[in-house]
Amino acid sequence: MSAVSDSRRASILGTGLIGSSVALALKGQGWIVSGVDGDESRAREAEAAGVIDAVGLDSAADLVVVAVPVSSLAAAVAAALLACPAATVTDVGSVKAAIARRVHDPRFVGGHPMAGSEQDGLKGADATLFNGATWVLTPTETTDANRYADLRATIMSIGADVVELPPERHDALVALVSHVPHLTAATLMGLAASQAEEHSALLRLAAGGFRDMTRIAAGHPAIWPDICVENRDAILDGLDALSDALAAVRATVAEGDRSGLLVKLEAARAARINLPARFATAEELVELRIPVPDRKGVLAEITTLAGDLDVSIVDLEIAHSVEGDRGVLIVTIDALASDRVSAALIERGYKPSASPVGR
Amino acid sequence: MSAVSDSRRASILGTGLIGSSVALALKGQGWIVSGVDGDESRAREAEAAGVIDAVGLDSAADLVVVAVPVSSLAAAVAAALLACPAATVTDVGSVKAAIARRVHDPRFVGGHPMAGSEQDGLKGADATLFNGATWVLTPTETTDANRYADLRATIMSIGADVVELPPERHDALVALVSHVPHLTAATLMGLAASQAEEHSALLRLAAGGFRDMTRIAAGHPAIWPDICVENRDAILDGLDALSDALAAVRATVAEGDRSGLLVKLEAARAARINLPARFATAEELVELRIPVPDRKGVLAEITTLAGDLDVSIVDLEIAHSVEGDRGVLIVTIDALASDRVSAALIERGYKPSASPVGR
């Protein structure tokens, strides 16, 4: 609590997408929020848009959220600790061990909200961005326990689910599920492109599975040099583990070990099917797989049908068979609505099959 | 042409999904089609369903299509060549060099239709399955040129685009764009699952990109042992090339070589963006990316809007940001309709951005 007001006071360092969204979310909870940015005009824009209440780093702030690029994180955190002597300081960087090694202050707690948006910067700012998102916090031995508990409560107040992890553990996990997969997708895509003397023939053989696997390689690469520098050790470990695992698969193929291959693929299949649903939710979810002909209006028909039945579509994708382009619409809905939607689909001539998702 | 009838005669060896669909497609072009299956009851069912005109291998057939599992391909092709002395014999196996090495008959042409369906077997049989699909043919030096030209014309008559490739080249290409990516997806999934002592935390950190990359690992693994045996050499070459390429990426990360990493990622991005559109089509296509809030009815609203404007949605997916679960609806439509649909979306408060797909 601030001494001079009922409202708690926060400062945001970096008014990009995440910083601006944190500002809006905190304002929604009654906080008074100021902010600065390396580019002062961005902070002025955020003020003009009502995203922050004032431009500036508030020396009386209870909380400072540092939302700057990973490469300038350490300097920004140090500045915030100096400028705001009463504040708990947290950051939103996607790599955590490096900053934890550099900052040993009981007022600092590292953090990483697993949220983003298609639109960068102020344009994408959204008070509900963290609703249902996972927000990792990485307290260390030096972190003040009361400050950590307060920060955790604040983050939960804006809708996020807090997961507590040691910094090194966080980095190893995101290396495995984000950084190494991204590098692998780019490598597979580069390999296919470079080895294709008959480029067009190769790419015409690339069906849905290849498209799915390489989709993330189409993203803008600008963030990756920083991530690869900051999380270098965990990424190298992840790449080494992948390399070892691929060598084991290679041996299985080379030996023609059919049952060994099946064991590996079955284990991967079970793990993939058990991946939690994308959306944090209390409901049980069901995936309806609906083979769809390639005709006009089928998507509108099915999504409208769900709307008419007052069923919310949690997720939707068009999957393609291993080979070829036939579509299967995969619609994720509340399990309680599954029978109702299936019956309505069958009535209209579709052949849906239902399976539970998540666990 | 058959001597006794105006209709050409075909026999299908193997009345599963592909065999039955070929039968229906040929019947649609006026062919008289008979068929057999290792499981005789399946052939009887196909006859009862009107998929084939008669059960049996027609000794007067002009064409035999062998659609049996890869492991029994060579024996089935040999049997067809013997039983149908006038017929051109082709197959639909997903690996081509092995059969080309075993069969040296001017009447044989290897083939591989890149088509599939969510539903296996007779249930999935569909005369239009090959419409717009790529169908690889792998003629060799021994293949009779006239027979090859006839077969090519027949396949084009049922709607497929024929791509001619040497058998080994076909196998190397599908290893790169299908077999190796599949094994890699399963390996990444297995790695993440096995390394996760804190399994639930790991999997909650797995955002859209990881889900996309590992989606194919959720498929039934039963077909893979055969494929890995039959296409062993090309798969091993592909795995070795991937391993080398990953080692190069590792070196780039280990050295902190930012510009080297950017070059690799930019090249992969360009290649991925230039992947031809999923659907064979003469039209220019545009991808509209539409950030969508998590509210009921948004899919129905957008798909209905497209229908009202008489615009066919060629493809649709919900993409998620690198981190988190925010949805962006990616709708692929005819480029000519792009401005119309964008204007209507903007009128309703959406913020679409358009980019061309394919080249």
Instruction: Tell me the average confidence (pLDDT) per consecutive run of 10 residues in chain A, 359 residues long.
Output: 68 95 97 96 96 97 95 94 97 94 96 76 84 89 95 95 91 91 93 70 69 81 89 96 97 96 92 64 69 69 83 69 59 84 89 68
Residue type, A300: A
Does the distance separating the beta carbons of B326 and A116 come in below 8 Å?
A: yes
Q: How far apart are the CA of B91 and the nearest CA of chain A, in angstroms? A: 16
Does the distance separating the beta carbons of A207 and B212 come in below 8 Å?
A: no
Which of A177, A192, A203 is closest, CB to CB, to B210? A177
Residue B197 has pLDDT above 90, yes or no: no
CA-to-CA dists, residue B134 to A200, A293, B164, B279, B359, angstroms? 12, 18, 10, 10, 17
| Calpha distance A37→B49 (Å, rounded) | 70
pLDDT at position A66 is 98
Q: Does A346 touch chain B (CB under 8 A)?
A: no
Per the listing, tokens 């431009």 go with: A55
pLDDT at position B359 is 29
Q: How far apart are the CA of A112 and the nearest CA of chain B, in angstroms? A: 10
Does the distance separating the beta carbons of A184 and B256 come in below 8 Å?
A: no
Q: Are A276 and B212 in contact (CB under 8 A)?
A: no
Does the distance separating the beta carbons of A265 and B116 come in below 8 Å?
A: no
Model confidence over B292-303: pLDDT tens digits? 765 556 777 888
pLDDT at position A282 is 41
Q: How far apart are the CA of A53 and the nearest CA of chain B, in angstroms? A: 25
Once rounded to an integer, what is the mean pLDDT over residues B309-314?
Answer: 78
Q: How far apart are the CA of B104 and the nearest CA of chain A, in angstroms? A: 25
Task: Please provide residue A292's backbone torsions phi and psi, each rounded to the nearest 5 degrees.
Answer: -120, 135
pLDDT at position A80 is 97
For chain A, how many residues are written? Answer: 359
More confident residue, B326 or B146: B146
Q: Are A36 and A10 in contact (CB under 8 A)?
A: no
Does the distance separating the beta carbons of A319 and B262 come in below 8 Å?
A: no
Interstrand relation of B108-113 and B134-138 (parallel, antiparallel or unpaired): antiparallel
For residue B222, the number of C-alpha atoms closer than 13 Å in the C-beta half-sphere is: 3
Provide, as residue numbers in chain B, all residues whose Cβ is less than 8 Å from the Cβ of A267: 190, 193
Provide, as residue numbers in chain B, all residues whose Cβ is less than 8 Å from the Cβ of A229: 256, 258
Does the distance separating the beta carbons of B136 and A189 come in below 8 Å?
A: no
User: What interface predicted TM-score (ipTM) does this complex get?
Assistant: 0.75
Residue in B130, B244, B246 to test binding to A, most A beta-carbons within 10 Å: B246
Residue type, A195: Q
Which of A115, A315, A317 is closest, CB to CB, to B323? A115
**Which token pair is B164?**
């001619």
Q: Does A260 touch chain B (CB under 8 A)?
A: no
Q: Does B320 touch chain A (CB under 8 A)?
A: yes
Does the distance separating the beta carbons of B215 and A319 come in below 8 Å?
A: yes
Q: Does B299 touch chain A (CB under 8 A)?
A: yes
Nearest residue to B98 via CA among B226, B231, B235: B231
pLDDT at position A218 is 80
Task: Please provide residue A319's backbone torsions phi and psi, each rounded to the nearest 5 degrees.
Answer: -100, 155
Nearest residue to B79 via CA among B55, B103, B98, B101: B103
pLDDT at position B348 is 87
Does the distance separating the beta carbons of B212 and A212 come in below 8 Å?
A: yes
Mean pLDDT of chain B: 86
Provide, as residue numbers in chain A, all residues whose Cβ is less than 8 Å from the Cβ of B312: 296
Residue B332 has pLDDT above 90, yes or no: no
Which of A94, A181, A276 is closest, CB to CB, to B213? A181
Q: How far apart are the CA of B13 and the nearest CA of chain A, in angstroms? A: 21
- The DSSP element (H or E) to which B345 belongs, if any, is helix B338-347
Q: How far apart are the CA of A293 and the nearest CA of chain B, in angstroms? A: 10
Provide, as residue numbers in chain B, all residues whose Cβ is less than 8 Å from the Cβ of A173: 196, 198, 201-202, 205
Q: How far apart are the CA of B207 and the nearest CA of chain A, in angstroms? A: 7
For chain B, how many residues are written? Answer: 359
Provide, as residue numbers in chain B, all residues whose Cβ is less than 8 Å from the Cβ of A163: 201, 204-205
Burial degree of B197 (CB within 10 A; 0-12, 13-18, 19+):
exposed
Residue type, A241: A
Residue in A137, A182, A187 to test binding to B, most B beta-carbons within 10 Å: A187
Provide, as residue numbers in chain A, all residues whose Cβ is less than 8 Å from the Cβ of B21: none
More confident residue, B276 or B55: B55
Q: Does A359 touch chain B (CB under 8 A)?
A: no
More confident residue, B115 or B147: B147
CA angle, corner B127, sides to A288 and B336, nearest 5? 75
Once rounded to an integer, what is the mean pLDDT over residues B304-315?
Answer: 79
Q: Are A27 and A33 in contact (CB under 8 A)?
A: yes
* Interchain CB contacts (distance < 8 Å): A and B: 428
pLDDT at position A279 is 44
pLDDT at position A238 is 95
| Calpha distance A76→A92 (Å, rounded) | 12
Q: How far apart are the CA of B341 and the nearest CA of chain A, in angstroms? A: 15
Once rounded to an integer, what is the mean pLDDT over residues B224-230?
Answer: 91
Nearest residue in A to B310, CA atom:
A296
**Which token pair is B264?**
């690799």
Among residues 220-259 of chain A, which lie with CB inside 8 Å of chain B? 220-225, 228-229, 232, 235-236, 239-243, 245-247, 249-250, 252-254, 256, 258-259
- Band (pLDDT 50/70/90 cuts) for residue B209 is confident
Predicted TM-score (pTM) of the model is: 0.75
Q: How far apart are the CA of B82 and the nearest CA of chain A, in angstroms? A: 31
Does the distance separating the beta carbons of A209 and B212 come in below 8 Å?
A: no
